[in-house]
Structure 1
C-alpha cells in the first residue's frame, strides 16, 4: 500500500544522496586553495632611484621585472637580503609595480621582519631619492594547488592566466610552478568572496595558513622567519639556487664575494629538505617536537636540525653530501623525542637520486672574476 510518509522519506533520502554526490564532484573539481597571507607584510619602495637602490642589495636580478631583452621577463622576483657575513636576513618577493605609479616596487616579507627591513632600507639610504613605507591598502593571497599532483607539469588544470592591472595582480610564484600563484588586490580582497570575480578559474576554495604551511613542507620549501631563522643560514643551504633566488650574472650585491668564497672552497654540505615523522598521532602530540632540535641517523650523530613542522610533515636542514657513503633516507631519529623520521629527495631538485655525492660545485666563471687569486 502506498504511504505518503514513506514516499516523503524516500524523496528526502534521495535528495540528501544527490547533494552528497554533487559535493563530492565539486570537491574533486576544486584545483586551488586561496590562502590569505596574514603572516606577511608589504612594503612600498618608491622614487626615481628605487630600482637601482634595491638592485644593489638583493641576490636576484630585478631586471627581470623590466621590459628588456637582457634577461627573461617576469611579473615577480624571489630574492634574498644577505647580512655582512653572507647569511640570509630575509627572503623577499618583489612585485612589478604596474598597479602603482612608475618608480615604485612592492616588497613582500615576513610580518615579524617587516619593521626591521623598513628601518634597514631607510638607514642605508644616504644619497638616493627614495621613500620606504608600509602598505596598508593592498591585500595579499596565495593560490596553491589543493593537492600535490606528481604529474603537475603535465596537468593544465593547474595553469591560470596571469592578470596584471593597475589595481589587481595574479602572478605565477617565481620559485616553483607547484607553488601556484600570488594575488595582490587593491580593489577588495579582505574576504575570500572578494577575489573570486577577478579569477577566471572558479574551482577555488578557501584555505588557511595551516594548509599553506603543510603544502610547502611536503614540497620541502622554507619561507619566512619561522622556517629560515634570520641571519642563520647561507643562501645555498636554503636552496636559493634551486628556487630562482640567486642571479649568477648580475652586478655586485651585499656579501656576494663572501658568499662565493664560502662555496668556492667546499661543496654544499647541508640543505633544507622535507621530513616526515613515522609514528602514531598520539605519540606526535605527546612529544610535540619543537623547531631547532637535532636529528640523527644510523651512521651520523649530527645529521641535521628540524627547522619547522606542521603535523607529521616538516622541513629540516640535513646533510646532503657524503663522500662515499649513501645518505640515509629512512630511519632518521629525532633526538629529543626519540621519534622516527624519514626524508626524500624533492622532485623539483635538479637531480632525483637516492645517493647524493655532489662534486665540487661548478659555478659560472664570471662569478669568480671579483675574487683575487
Structure 2
C-alpha cells in the first residue's frame, strides 16, 4: 500500500512538472539568467520637447491619439502612469509623428519624446494649434537626454528604479511593450558610466554597451516596433497600420482629436489589412530594397526599415502569414507574427533576442 501511495505521489508530481515545464523554462531563461544582462544605450536620434501651461492637458488632448487622463495628476478613474505612447495625426488621419509623453514632477508640465529630425516640425505643429492659450513649447535637448535600458532577450528589467535614479531622472517601463525595456530621461551631464553604475547597483547584473548586432534598433525590429521618421515616414501610413492600437497608443473612448474620424471608422469596421511586421532576412537588404513579394511574385508590402538580418515591413497581414516564403530582391525572407499581437490570427514562434 505504501508503495502504491508512493507511485501515485510520484505520478502526480510528474504530471504537475509536465504541465509547468514550459513556464519553468521561460522563468529560468528570462528571470534567473537573462535578467543579469542589460544593455544601456543613449537614444541619439530622439529628443525632448517640453510643453507647459495650465491648459496643457486639454490642448494635447485635442492633438494626440491617446488619452491625457492617463498621465494627468490627481484622482481619475483611469490608472495613472509615468509615460504614454501616442501619435500626432494630420487632418486626413495619417501619422505625422510618433511620440512618448512623460509626466514630470512639475505641475502642468510634460516632456514629449520625438525623432530629432522632426523636432522643429513638431514644435511648429504645436504652436499652430496653440492659438491664444498660455502654453510654453520649448526644445529641451540641451537639458535632457533620453536613454533605453533593455534585456537583449526581452526579459523585464526588474528593479526599483524610482529609488536608484533619484529625483532628477525619469525612469519608466516602455509604455508600448514591456519587453522593449526601461525608458530613462536624465540631465545632459549624465554619462553612460553613470547609468551603468546606477543599474548595476540593483544586484548581480552585467551592464553592456550596444554593439552592431545587439542594439536598440535591432531589439525593436525583432519585436516589430517602428519608431521615428525612417520607420514611420510622416503622412505615409495610418496609426492602426503602425500597430498604435496594439501598443496602447490610441483611445477609442476619448473626445475628438485631429485625425480621429478615419481612425475611429477603421477601428469600428474591424478591417486593418496592412500592418507593420517583423522580417528576418536571409541576406541583408540593400538601401534600394523596397518591395516584398510572395513566391508567386505578388507584391504584398514594402520595407520600412532594415538592419543586418532584421527588417520591418508594412505588409498585407493575411497574405504575409499565409505565405511560407517571402522575397526581397530575389532573396528569401521570413515574416513573424509578434507574440504581443492579439490571438485572433495564427501565431508563429516567439521572436528571440540577440
Band of TM-score, shorter chain: 0.7 to 0.9
Alpha-carbon displacement from aligned partner over 1:263-301 (angstroms, at most 9, x marks no partner): 44561101110001124xxxx4xxx42267111113561
Aligned twin of 1:40: 46
With over 3 angstroms needed to count, the CA separation of the structure-2 counterparts of 1:71 and 1:194, relative to structure 1, is same
Aligned twin of 1:311: 308
Confirm or deny: 8 A CA contact 1:268 1:321 kept in the other structure.
no
1:204 lines up with 2:207 in the alignment: yes
Give the superposition deviation at 1:187. Answer: 7.1
Q: Which stretch of the first structure deviates more once superposed, 202-211 or 225-234?
A: 202-211
Q: Which stretch of the first structure deviates more once superposed, 250-259 or 310-319?
A: 250-259
| 1:160 aligned counterpart, secondary structure | coil
- Number of residues paired by the alignment? 308
Aligned twin of 1:359: none
Aligned twin of 1:345: 337
| 1:113 aligned counterpart, secondary structure | helix
Confirm or deny: 8 A CA contact 1:39 1:110 kept in the other structure.
yes
Give the superposition deviation at 1:30. Answer: 4.0
Please give the alpha-carbon distance, in whole angstroms, between the structure 2 residues aligned to 1:102 and 1:265.
39
Alpha-carbon displacement from aligned partner over 1:130-182 (angstroms, at most 9, x marks no partner): 0101001112100111234xxx4xxxx73232427541111110001100111
Structure 2: gaps spanning 5 or more residues: 1-32, 349-354
Residues 112-191 of structure 1: matches in 2 within 5 Å?
A: 112-135=117-140, 136-148=142-154, 152=155, 158-163=157-162, 166-186=167-187, 188-189=189-190, 191=191
| 1:247 aligned counterpart, secondary structure | coil
Q: Which stretch of the first structure deviates more once superposed, 103-112 or 259-268?
A: 259-268
Please give the alpha-carbon distance, in whole angstroms, between the structure 1 residues aligned to 2:157 and 2:35.
11
Confirm or deny: 8 A CA contact 2:226 2:232 kept in the other structure.
yes
1:194 lines up with 2:194 in the alignment: yes
With over 3 angstroms needed to count, the CA separation of the structure-2 counterparts of 1:249 and 1:182, relative to structure 1, is same
Structure 1: gaps spanning 5 or more residues: 1-26, 357-373
Give the superposition deviation at 1:125. Answer: 1.3
1:330 lines up with 2:333 in the alignment: no
Confirm or deny: 8 A CA contact 2:94 2:236 kept in the other structure.
yes
With over 3 angstroms needed to count, the CA separation of the structure-2 counterparts of 1:346 and 1:225, relative to structure 1, is same
Please give the alpha-carbon distance, in whole angstroms, between the structure 2 residues aligned to 1:40 and 1:310.
18
Aligned twin of 1:72: 79
| 2:321 aligned counterpart, secondary structure | coil
With over 3 angstroms needed to count, the CA separation of the structure-2 counterparts of 1:238 and 1:106, relative to structure 1, is same
| 2:179 aligned counterpart, secondary structure | helix
Aligned twin of 1:371: none
TM-score, normalization by structure 1? 0.77
Please give the alpha-carbon distance, in whole angstroms, between the structure 2 residues aligned to 1:38 and 1:347.
28
Q: Which stretch of the first structure deviates more once superposed, 62-71 or 174-183?
A: 62-71
Give the superposition deviation at 1:69. Answer: 3.1
Aligned twin of 1:370: none
Please give the alpha-carbon distance, in whole angstroms, between the structure 1 residues aligned to 2:65 and 2:188.
32
Give the superposition deviation at 1:224. Answer: 0.7
Confirm or deny: 8 A CA contact 1:31 1:203 kept in the other structure.
yes
Give the superposition deviation at 1:60. Answer: 0.5
Please give the alpha-carbon distance, in whole angstroms, between the structure 1 residues aligned to 2:113 and 2:278.
24
TM-score, normalization by structure 2? 0.80
Query: Which of residues 245, 250, 271 in structure 2 aligns to 1:246?
Result: 250
With over 3 angstroms needed to count, the CA separation of the structure-2 counterparts of 1:209 and 1:176, relative to structure 1, is farther
Confirm or deny: 8 A CA contact 1:188 1:194 kept in the other structure.
no
Confirm or deny: 8 A CA contact 2:49 2:138 kept in the other structure.
yes
Q: Which structure would you say has the larger Rg?
A: 1
